[in-house]
Amino acid sequence: MYKVTFLSPGEEPVTVEVDPVKFPLQEDGLPGSILDVALGNGIDLQHNCGGKCACTTCHVIVKQGMENLSKMEEDEEDRLDTAEGLTLESRLGCQAVAHGDVVVEIPMSGRGGHKPPSH
């Protein structure tokens, strides 16, 4: 068992416990990917291409535990290059498979454009 924590601007962090024997949790993205864990736990993460490495809407920024994610394949690297707000810690949620604790941020673009209230 390990933990995946999701951070979203303007929202409380959500941590879910993951049991790898239960993968896949749903149909989109690689089994055990960040997208799989998110959708399987009712967390909103955009996935316009259905988890096929053909868009960038599942872009997440890894805050902790990069070493606990699967190695980036060339397909993901090429696709990620076109992501809005790309960082050195960026991954595609549908391709990055966790095998240990990770903390990821879902950028605004991954939440369907919801913005926190401005004051």
Which CB sits closer to ligand FES, 79 or 111? 79
To ligand FES, the closest distance from the beta carbon of 35 in angstroms equals 6
Dihedral of alpha carbons 52, 74, 86, 89, sign: positive
Which CB sits closer to ligand FES, 8 or 57? 57
Q: Which residues bind ligand FES (CB under 6 A)?
A: 47-49, 51, 53-55, 57-58, 79, 92-94
To ligand FES, the closest distance from the beta carbon of 53 in angstroms equals 5
- What per-residue string of b and e applies to 41-51 under the rule 16 or more CB within 10 Å gives b? bebebbbebeb
Contacts of 105 (CB under 8 A, 6+ apart): 6, 7, 8, 9, 60, 61, 63
Which CB sits closer to ligand FES, 65 or 93? 93
To ligand FES, the closest distance from the beta carbon of 38 in angstroms equals 11
